[in-house]
Structure 1
Amino acid sequence: MLASMLCVMTDRGPDSAGFAVYGAGAKDKVKLSLRAAAGYDFSALAAGLSIPADGLPPLAVRSTHAIIEVPAAREADVRAFLAARHPEVAVVGTGARMEIFKEVGLPATVADTFGLAKMSGTHGIGHTRMATESAVTTAGAHPFSTGADQCLVHNGSLSNHNQLRRQLKREGITFETENDSEVAAGYLTWRLKQGATLGEALEAGLKDLDGFYTFVVGTENGFGVLRDPVACKPAVMAETDQYVAFGSEYRALVDLPGIEKARVFEPEPATVYFWERAQ
């Protein structure tokens, strides 16, 4: 369903595409979503990460990306190892359940490259981009993740992102690109580290983030939606007993099963919506 929705929106963003899928996780383990150049030997990297008590970490390679699962208590050590020994490998995201994949190209190509249609999970978030705030690069593709099991996709533009980036860097938030959407993700992570709930962080953003935007934010347990106070960018929701779906346009939803019986509505401006998966 997510692959189909992405492909429908091709003409809104043919430059790059990406998605996060929240699948199964293991107790006390964390998944690192890694990205490298085409043909990179992730198996050799994993062998270098052998942890005596645990053996070789589980590894799943999908084209230019790989998901590697390590003990949660060793995440900092693994990140330090990657930074020191493998600077050519980027950590796209981490979390107990979240896996992130993104690449330059048409959404259909990206979805096929990573095998999105065969993935499974409780929820997923996708985005296809027309680059307006930064270069057409894989690093600049959405989703952006700056916190565990947290990712953000963004439709719109922030006018104060450079100022916020400088402020957030002083607070210890790191950034890999010049994309304004990564600043929005970092802002939410910073708010969450201060003890805010996701809803509180999004509401605070209505004051601190200047621009026009629609955010979809993924967490381990669900996803949230927020539009700016003017609701400049299009957005539509569909809700049934089986699923909740979001799209920038209704045409992204028309092929979903049971859409004819769904409650279809436009999210209100400056209003936080959040849905959680069944536990």
Structure 2
Amino acid sequence: MCGIVGLFLKNPNLEPQLGKLLSDMLETMTDRGPDSAGIAVYGSDTEGVKLTLRGPDQAALAETISQLESVFDRSFAKTARDTHTVLSVPAERETKIRAWLKENAPGIDVVSAGKRMEIYKEVGLPASVAERFDLASMSGSHGIGHTRMATESAVVTNGAHPFSTGLDECLVHNGSLSNHNGMRRKLQREGLTFKTQNDTEVAAGYLSWRMREGASLKEALESSLTDLDGFFTFVVGTENGFAVVRDPIACKPAVMAETDDYVAFGSEYRALVGLPGIENARVFEPEPAKVYAWERH
């Protein structure tokens, strides 16, 4: 089942509305995925790297960050939102900070990393998750969201989408992959690590691996059509872009709308009806096995 939403803003004047628009779209997809929800927002950039951390609560996160600042003898810019905190760290310290967290803070997860991307996800109804993180107040150029119906694994936060396996890279997925275990082993031999058994994390890792090997996002998505077996719709975010691809059968529902101001994606058209100017949009169903991509200029 599951529901996907995505919004890429061409018009910078709409950027303050990104979070509110995404929040409304996400809530509309509740009956496609009432178990958990997640959002990736591409907002303002930082000089270093934004690490989005998740913990059991803000007290645990604050204590861990305090210890981290003591160890590294400096304070870090940070923004707390419910069970998550976005920590801005120098790029040259990122690897050591991640290693310290892994060794000393087993209850704290690094959800994402990037110059612009922040990811928030939790168990619960989409409207509740959006409210907990105050999604409506967020601004940015683009974002993607997902509502999950857990049919193949437990209802836990680690199973919620989006999944991120590279800087400013994330992916949401509706469908099922049949060869994800074999692909996971292949990618592990290539040096990738995975936190879950979710097939979507494997798909995210596959795209990261292909792009590290020199492929463009479009090329990586095109090769996924042969290397990843199953039925799927992928919506992908990068620092500068937004892309969509469906498998060759395209049995999962998908609809897109494009105007001079934005490009939007929804698992169903009703996720798009509240967007400004939707009555004048070019509305279409993305074709099977075709990559659609847009980038900021």
Q: Does 1:35 align with 2:50?
A: no
Deviation at residue 39 of structure 1 after TM alignment: 4.3
Where does residue 252 of structure 1 map in the other structure?
271
**Aligned alpha-carbon RMSD (Å):** 1.4
User: How many equivalent residue pairs?
Assistant: 277
Contact 2:54/2:61, CA 8 A, preserved across alignment: no
CA offsets 1:201-225 (integer angstroms, 9 cap, x no match): 1111111100000000000001110
Task: Find the aligned partners of 2:56 and 2:62 in 1 and give their Cα distance.
Answer: 14
Sequence identity (%): 66
C-alpha distance in 2, partners of 1:44/1:33?
A: 16
Query: How many angstroms apart in 1 are the aligned matches of 2:256 and 2:240?
Result: 19
Work out the CA distance in 1 between the residues paired with 2:119 and 2:285: 27
3-state secondary structure, aligned to 1:49:
helix
TM-score by length of 1: 0.96
TM superposition shift of 1:51: 7.8
* Counterpart in the other structure of 2:285: 266
Q: Displacement of 1:155 after TM fit?
A: 0.6
Maintained 8 Å contact 2:61/2:108: no
Deviation digits for residues 128-168 of structure 1, max 9, x if unmatched? 00012211100000000000000000011101111111111
Tell me the SS of whatever aligns to 1:50. Answer: helix
- Counterpart of 1:158? 177
Residue 83 of structure 1 corresponds to 102
CA deviation map 1:206-261 (0-9, x unaligned) = 11100000000000001110000111111111101111100000000011110000
CA contact (8 A) 1:168 1:187 kept: yes
* Match runs of 1:89-104 below 5 Å: 89-104=108-123
List alignment gaps of at least 5 residues for structure 1: none
Q: Structure 2: where are the runs of 5+ without partners?
A: 1-20
Q: Say which SS state the counterpart of residue 112 (structure 1) adopts.
A: helix
The structure 1 segments of at least 4 consecutive aligned residues displaced by more than 2 Å after TM superposition are 38-55
Q: CA deviation at 1:52?
A: 9.4
Give distance in 1, aligned partners of 2:144 and 2:169. 11
Residue of structure 2 aligned with 1:61, choices 65, 72, 80: 80
Indicate the residue corresponding to 2:46 in structure 1.
Answer: 26
Match for residue 141 of structure 1? 160
Give the match's secondary structure for 1:139.
helix
Q: What SS class does the counterpart of residue 45 from structure 2 fall into?
A: coil
Higher normalized helix content (fraction of residues): 2
Work out the CA distance in 1 between the residues paired with 2:211 and 2:153.
26
1:225 is aligned to 2:278: no
